[in-house]
Amino acid sequence: MKIKEVTEYLNSRFLPVYQESYDNAGLLLGDVETEIKGVLATTDITMDVIDEAMAMNANLIVSHHPLIFNGIKRITPANETGRMVMRLLQEGIAVYAAHTNLDNLEWGVNGILAEKIGLKDCEVLRPLSGVLMKLVTYVPADHADRVRKELFAAGAGAIGGYDCCSYNSEGFGTFRAGDGCNPFCGNIGELHNEPEIRIEVIYEQRIGRRLIEMLRTVHPYEEPAFDCIPLANSYDKVGAGMVGHLEEPLTAEEFLAKVKEKLNLPVIRTSKLKLKNTESKIQKVAVCGGSGSFLISDAKACGADIFMTGDLKYHDFQSAENVIILADIGHFESEQFAKELIHRVISEKFSNFACQIAKSDKGFIYYI
């Protein structure tokens, strides 16, 4: 088995199309034609992680944070990134990153963080917009069922927890086939009226090409008519942050003590633990792995009692305004389960090579 079989599968699960514009996810280093020996899952790539990969004979490292993030003009031993790139190339170790795309997936970094601290009924805090499209096509009435079925099978027609969603209306189409055509119905040179069903389905923009290819294949017309319409609707399966509920309300002190235990945290930085309603307890919780200060307003707007993320600055805490508790649980600490998630995805699919979680991956910040 070659490395490309693993990376192609990771692309299908981690969906690099959903990475932020500034990001650099996907295969960053290495030859995909190389036979795979083993995989090491990690949050960050360090020299220690490279040592660990070599010790277990792994020639693919899958990390959350990209080793190559911004543009590199020189690869030399003058800096740590250059030294690591040179060593990885020398040792024949490929590197794949799943970063903001893994943050944005509903079941990704924020989903597993919410799971670890016991949140239920979770939803994406800030869903992405501009990723949904509507396909409208016109099909002879006798063939509408088959075309609908194939559209659904290709991934169209999902709305929230529902699938096989479509809108259908009856009408008739007109056309006249010219010389050289091979019409499904009607005659060349004659105006033809055909009873048709207008089918409308929603789909993710990322599947648009294969959806149209499938439509052309199953549609009975030689030249099927269709429209692809961008939608302003947000897509609740993809986006930044996560919000959910505790099964039982807890005081701020009780909840934060539970978080420290579950995430093995040495310290948590917080805003004032007393809200305007001093009798209130923590029940609705918003989280964002990594740097999530940009979501403070979203957490407040959704009525969360507390918002937990990393990299909060001094004046970020001021914006709590006694209506929400802000808690900085650390950048690495809030994303520490990314490697567990990566390991889970790979292990569910592949069993013919070793996939391990890096033991040397401990973050860059130490607490004394």
Q: Is 185 helix (H, G, I), strand (E, B) or coil?
A: coil
Taking the whole predicted model, whether its pTM rises above 0.85 is answered as yes
Q: Give the phi and the psi of residue 350 in degrees, each rounded to 5.
A: -120, 135
For domain 3-97+336-357, give the CATH superfamily: NIF3 (NGG1p interacting factor 3)-like (3.40.1390.30)
DSSP notation for 95-108: EEE--HHHHHBTTS
Q: Letter for the amino acid at 153?
A: A
Chosen CATH of 131-231 out of 3.40.50.12780, 3.30.70.120, 3.40.50.10860, 3.40.50.970? 3.30.70.120
Measure CA 247 to chain center.
26
- Of the candidates 64, 75, 204, the residue with the CA atom closest to the CA atom of residue 128: 204
**CA distance linking residue 358 with residue 188, whole number of Å:** 67
Please check whether the two domains, 3-97+336-357 and 105-126+240-329, share a CATH topology. Answer: yes
Q: Where are the domains of the chain?
A: 3-97+336-357, 105-126+240-329, 131-231
**The two structure tokens encoding residue 136:** 């409208």
In the prediction, which pLDDT does 70 show?
A: 83
pLDDT along the chain (368 residues), means of 10: 96 96 96 96 98 97 95 88 96 98 97 97 95 97 96 95 96 93 92 96 96 96 96 95 97 95 96 73 96 98 97 96 95 97 96 93 92
Q: Give the phi and the psi of residue 232 in degrees, each rounded to 5.
A: -85, -10
What CATH number labels 105-126+240-329?
3.40.1390.30
- The separation between the first and the last C-alpha atoms of the chain, rounded to the nearest angstrom, is 45
**CA distance linking residue 112 with residue 107, whole number of Å:** 7
- Of the candidates 285, 276, 277, 286, the residue with the CA atom closest to the CA atom of residue 250: 285
Angle ∠(312,318,323) on CA atoms, nearest 5? 105
**CA distance linking residue 177 with residue 193, whole number of Å:** 12
